[in-house]
Amino acid sequence: MQINDYIVFILYFIVVSVYGYWIYNRKKAKETSANDFFLAEGSLTWWAIGASLIASNISAEQMIGMSGSGFKMGLAIATYEWMAAATLMIVAIFFIPVYLKNKIYTMPQFLSQRYNDRVAMIMAIFWLFLYVVVNLMSILYLGALAINGISGLSVLFCILALAIFAIVITLGGMKVIGYTDIIQVFFLILGGLVATYIALNLVANQAGTEGVFNGLSVLRTEADDHFHMIFNRDNSNYLDLPGLTILIGGMWIVNLNYWGCNQYITQRALGADLKTARAGLLFAAFLKLLMPVIVVLPGIAAYYLHQKGMFQTEMLDSKGIVDVNKAYPSLLNLLPVGMKGLAFAALTAAIVASLAGKANSIATIYTLDIYKKAINPNASEDKLVSLGRIVVIVAMAAAVVLSLLIGEKLMGEGKQGFQYIQEYTGFVSPGIFAMFILGFFWKKTSSNAAMFATIGGFIMSIILKFLPQLVNLAFLAPMGFAVKNGDGIYEIPFLDRMGFVFLTCIIGMYIISNIDFKGRNNPQGLEIDSSMFRTSRGFTIGALVILATLTVLYTIFW
């Protein structure tokens, strides 16, 4: 990067820091409880909620990992973004009203209120482990890898700088995170669009023409295999995205669990009223439609340019193998002076916003659901806030150490970082989602059934993962539920594994709950009535526009 690039980046840093400090001082006098600090209760507007959802969601795993997957498999990876738009509508209509009506502010609180404290405590500890070991660590490592590729700064320095910047923002609480995320999203979208614009122009120039639309036309023609959403069984990427499963199977479990049963995400909306929360989710859904343009198209452009002889050395790992995670950084290095700084700021904004949101959720769960309930029930509000800040620092420090120790082994050397996160999160998603969805809408669901889904679902996921090493699963191939992996072994695609585990959990929970509540007339449930699920005319129109857009997109790129 040149001096002008650093000036643009420093300007971004100053704007975010000064605005965050101003928000912190404004709210400091009004902050009266731990809920104000952790949830920004009643403070976030719909546009702040929507922007914060996207800023917290879009991070290195998308900007780097998903772009890398775009390089390898094409537009099909965009299904995670476009299906999320549809999922956000479901969450807004059915999930958020249940949380708000029952005054639920954290996911362990839901489990305690719906099942019992034992289930809630087990899951609280589990979520802390998952957020630190999988999410924080992966965001830090992939983000540092990307910044290293653009700036030349050491990976160690990048990890430490990202962690410190995120800590500074997180210590201000949820309101500071929510409102600074508006700026983060601005830089993320603007910088991302600039990178896409330049990439498509490069494609056009490589083909002897010019203009963004001509570049897109060249990609559609010469990289046609990268513009299909639904893979056939003979596609080498079928294990990652197994055909129609992305429309009627495991992809729904991934998204509904992530957007509806995830403290990290739902926390943005739980401090607002229903109308504001729904409007925020609708805004986030519209932004989700745009994300593949920012994170997937550059990866496809990098693939085309690589096929034409560019990035031949920049994208090689230490073993001389093409590292798809280097596609986006390699592309950004071709940006002109100034524009590279803007793209660098966009990437940093995406990483820092996600780190801050995740760290805040970790602090919320530990402070409100573990410390206050099991260790010090009489802790003062000031004590809880102070402890929350300490937890943020400890969690980030742990993530730094893990990223240095195991980051390269799990996500380096050509591995798809985005797919790593999705698969390993998928070991627990089916059981958690089954526990939530039946807990919402079936009063007879028992705590023993919830424990079965949580523990049994995890065990079954592990069994199905390693089963191909012991049993030949070729008999599943004609149905599309098993394909050969790189070693020639028939393996179940992980999205299909999630579907099998989810159905098993639902059936098991149904049987266990009926046994537990046999003869009982007053099972434990949540307060729910049909009026909660009615939507305003504006929300309904917006949701229909999103569904129509998705229908058109999948029809065109089928």
**pLDDT at 406 (0 to 100):** 75
Question: Hunting for tokens 């299906």 — which residue is that?
Answer: 83
pLDDT tens by residue, the chain, 558 residues: 778 888 887 887 788 777 777 766 766 545 555 656 665 555 678 888 888 788 777 776 677 778 888 888 889 999 999 999 999 999 999 988 888 888 887 788 888 888 888 888 888 888 888 888 878 888 888 788 778 877 778 888 988 988 988 888 777 666 666 666 677 777 777 777 888 888 899 899 888 888 888 989 999 999 898 999 998 888 888 888 888 888 888 889 988 988 888 876 777 777 778 898 899 999 999 999 988 998 899 889 988 988 888 877 776 666 767 778 778 877 777 777 777 777 777 777 778 877 887 888 888 888 888 888 888 888 887 888 888 889 889 999 999 998 888 766 666 555 555 666 677 777 888 999 999 999 888 888 888 999 999 889 989 988 988 888 888 888 888 877 888 877 788 888 888 888 999 999 999 999 999 888 765 655 566 777 778 888 999 999 999 999 999 999 999 998
Cα 101–chain centre separation: 26
Distance CA(278)–CA(451), nearest Å, equals 31
**pLDDT at 318 (0 to 100):** 63
Query: Per-residue b/e over 249-278, b at no fewer than 16 CB within 10 Å?
Result: bbbbbbbbbbbbbbbbbbbbbbbbebebbb
Distance CA(260)–CA(143), nearest Å, equals 26
Structural domains of the chain, ranges and CATH numbers in brackets: 3-11+28-416 (1.20.1730.10), 426-527 (no CATH)
Distance CA(85)–CA(123), nearest Å, equals 27
**Pick from 520, 192, 488: nearest CA to 331:** 192
Q: What is residue 136's three-state secondary structure?
A: helix
**Pick from 524, 496, 526, 514: nearest CA to 452:** 514
Token pair for 132: 């630190």
174-206 vs 212-222: helix axis angle to the nearest 10?
A: 70
Beta-carbon count within 10 A of 544 CB? 11
Distance CA(146)–CA(473), nearest Å, equals 38
Dihedral of CA atoms 354, 248, 544, 530 in degrees, nearest 10, equals: -90
Distance CA(113)–CA(103), nearest Å, equals 10
Residue pair 351/59 in contact (Cβ under 8 Å)? The answer is yes
**pLDDT at 12 (0 to 100):** 78
Distance CA(89)–CA(312), nearest Å, equals 42
**pLDDT at 354 (0 to 100):** 78
Distance CA(382)–CA(405), nearest Å, equals 35
Residue pair 336/310 in contact (Cβ under 8 Å)? The answer is no
Residue pair 162/355 in contact (Cβ under 8 Å)? The answer is yes
Beta-carbon count within 10 A of 362 CB? 28
Token pair for 416: 């798809």
Q: What is residue 483's three-state secondary structure?
A: strand
Residues 6+ apart with CB under 8 A from 120: 108, 109, 110, 111, 112, 369, 373
Token pair for 20: 């965050």
**pLDDT at 90 (0 to 100):** 93
**Pick from 53, 501, 42: nearest CA to 260:** 53
Amino acid letter, 536 = S
Distance CA(130)–CA(112), nearest Å, equals 19
The secondary structure element, H or E, covering residue 490 is strand 490-491
HSE on the CB side for 108, CA within 13 Å? Answer: 26
pTM of the predicted protein model = 0.83
Residue pair 257/127 in contact (Cβ under 8 Å)? The answer is no
- C-alpha to C-alpha distances, 217 to 204, 208, 222, 399, nearest whole angstrom: 9, 13, 9, 42
Residue pair 163/429 in contact (Cβ under 8 Å)? The answer is no
Distance CA(530)–CA(507), nearest Å, equals 26
